[in-house]
Chains A and B, each alone.
Chain A
Amino acid sequence: MSQTMFAAIFITLFFAAMIGVGFFFSRREKVAASSDNYILAGRRAPLFIVAGSFFATFVSTGTLVGYAGTGYSVGVSGYWGGGCFMVAAMWAGLWIVPRLRKAGITTVPEIFEKYFGGGHRIIAMILSLGRDLGVVASVVLVLSQIFQTLFGFGFLTSVLLTSGVVIIFTATGGMWAVMVNDTIQAAIIALGTMVMIPLGILKAGGFARFVSQIPAAHSDVMAVGMSQTVGWFLVGVFTMLGYQTILQKGLAAKDEKTARHAFFWGGLFSLFWYMVPFLTGILARVLFPSITPANAYYSMSSLFGVYGNVFFMCVLLMSGMSTVSACILGVTSNLSLDLYKRFINPAASEQELVKLQRACLFLIVAICTIIGHSFPYVVELFWIGGRVMASGLAPVLTVLLLWPKARRAPMSTMCAMIGGSLACIMAELYQSSMATHAAEEGAVVLLWSLDPILTGLPVAFLILIAGTLIETGRQTPEMLSSYSVKAELIKN
């Protein structure tokens, strides 16, 4: 059987199974009945499904290809930039997710509306969208590239097939389909990639021989330097703390205990697994010392014959599809609930909202594909969006949930979100302009590169903490009585 035929059969079965899951849960769980059913699986998801979906969403094409490339370039120290997401995720499962659940929200920006109003909600939504849209735009392109490589299809056909399947199962089965498909894919991704490591070591001539060929810097855990290590750690921690797509998994869990356990155990497994792409990169460095880092994963896949190569390309496909499906569902919840229902049509019924949410999926993928294909530099801009979100939204959300005083500081929270984001953008622009200027001058200069989040976060925290103390210090008991509202009883 040829490689193309094997790939066609494997992928057809895989796509059919995912679409089948979508239709099955559409009927069984009545996802069209309400927005909660559609976006949050009716808040009834069991532990295994939440944890599996958690892992699959964290593992995208960028994880397998990008982190393998990082492992190829810098070795084991690259793990600082990957595993730290899990540190924050496990911690968020203990302290952040239970409080978000208690607030009874569906989207992260909704919590800002609960305390402050529409202005805060819009700012939070923009910051949240910046990251998710970037992920969707870039992963959709990689998915189409995989299809082009496997079957030689054109760009449009590849996008229609890969994104079309994601849209069909997400539109029909909502969060249930996304989480169940994620869990199936998580098992295949985790097992498949973990098998690649011992097989690769065997190809390298055994463990001792493999280790003896690793460049010294590649086993040095501090090889990238303290500034980059701290920068990566903070980016990972704060990106996760504001990562709505992941936080919504906790909201979808059937109860608080399930959410806590899913985040903790799912996070712990992911933390251990996250070394795999870096090991893949180190193995590629030993076996293919003269390739470009971006090809590390592909080169390792090619080691295992025709069927092995197809299998590992399918693993890559699964990692991308699971991430895209979760992200587009998160974005559609923002557009339909934070924008349409809040500002355009507050009287919209639940059924109308679900129809809109389904339509939004098509729109989001179409726009992201057009932007990604026609304006690749915009995708670069979106990637900065992850750092901007981590600088502006994440610290304010975390403090808001854990420090009651901050809930009485509308100006400080707003200024911290905007200030932290702007400081991050300014730092990025300044460093880019310095690099461009140095290149134009032809000067040999040592550029001092500071992760922009190291500028954005202190600004956000400073404004938030100092501002909150000043703002609430002027509030009298009479004033608080005038603003007092009765808290709605929220079932767990």
Chain B
Amino acid sequence: MVKFKYYRDDPIDDVPAPAWKMILSFAGITAIFVGYIFFWGALLSP
């Protein structure tokens, strides 16, 4: 079996990363991105 190092109190988990906040933030940023391209699509439509 391939070995691994197990950290009981891994320092990187000190940075909070709640799933709902991660999903919401991704959705929010994607919404800005999608809104922006549709804005240009509408602006450039004859």
Contacts and interface: CB of A to CB of B under 8 A. Distances in A.
Given A116-B4, A219-B46, A84 B33 contact: yes
Contacts of B36: 83, 271-272, 275
Given A115-B5, A483-B4, A490-B11, A282 B44 contact: yes
B6 A484 contact: yes
A487 B5 CA distance: 10
Interface stretch (A11-19, A43-51, A52-60, A209-217): A209-217
A86 B44 CA distance: 23
B8 to A, nearest CB: 6
Contacts of A484: 6-8
A256 B17 CA distance: 14
Contact of A410 (B4, B9, B22): B4
Contacts of A91: 22, 25-26, 29
Contact of B6 (A98, A214, A279, A408): A408
A3 to B, nearest CB: 33
B37 A221 contact: yes
B27 to A, nearest CB: 10
Interface in A312-364: none
B5 A87 contact: no
A76 interface: yes
A489 B3 contact: no
Contacts of A159: none
A150 interface: no
A479 to B, nearest CB: 9
Nearest to B5: A485
Contacts of B38: 221
Given A86-B33, A221-B38, A103 B44 contact: no
B22 A95 contact: yes
Contact of A90 (B2, B4, B7, B29): B29
Contact of A80 (B25, B37, B46): B37
Interface in B1-46: 1-15, 17, 22, 25-26, 29-30, 32-33, 36-38, 40-41, 43-46
B15 A99 contact: yes
Nearest to A84: B33
Interface string A403-418: 0100111110010000
Nearest to B10: A487
A379 B37 CA distance: 31
Interface in A240-292: 256, 268, 271-272, 275, 279, 282
A427 to B, nearest CB: 25
Interface string A187-210: 000000000000000000000000
A487 B9 contact: yes
Interface in A453-492: 480, 483-490
B22 A487 contact: no
Given A94-B25, A102-B11, A219-B41, A483 B33 contact: no
Q: Which of A84, A95, A282 has the most CB of B within 10 A?
A: A95
Contacts of A216: 46
Contacts of B7: 407, 484-487
A68 to B, nearest CB: 15
A411 B15 CA distance: 26
Contact of A483 (B5, B30, B41): B5
A115 B13 CA distance: 14
Contacts of A86: 33
Nearest to A480: B6
A84 B6 CA distance: 35
B15 A98 contact: yes
Given A218-B44, A407-B6, A484-B8, 9 more contacts: A83-B33, A84-B33, A95-B17, A102-B11, A220-B41, A221-B37, A401-B12, A483-B3, A488-B11
22 contacts: A76-B37, A76-B41, A86-B33, A87-B30, A91-B22, A94-B22, A116-B3, A116-B4, A117-B3, A117-B4, A212-B46, A218-B44, A219-B41, A219-B44, A219-B46, A271-B36, A275-B36, A279-B40, A401-B12, A404-B10, A411-B1, A488-B11
Interface of A: 75-77, 79-80, 83-84, 86-87, 90-91, 94-95, 98-100, 102-104, 114-117, 119, 211-212, 214, 216, 218-221, 256, 268, 271-272, 275, 279, 282, 401-402, 404, 407-411, 414, 480, 483-490
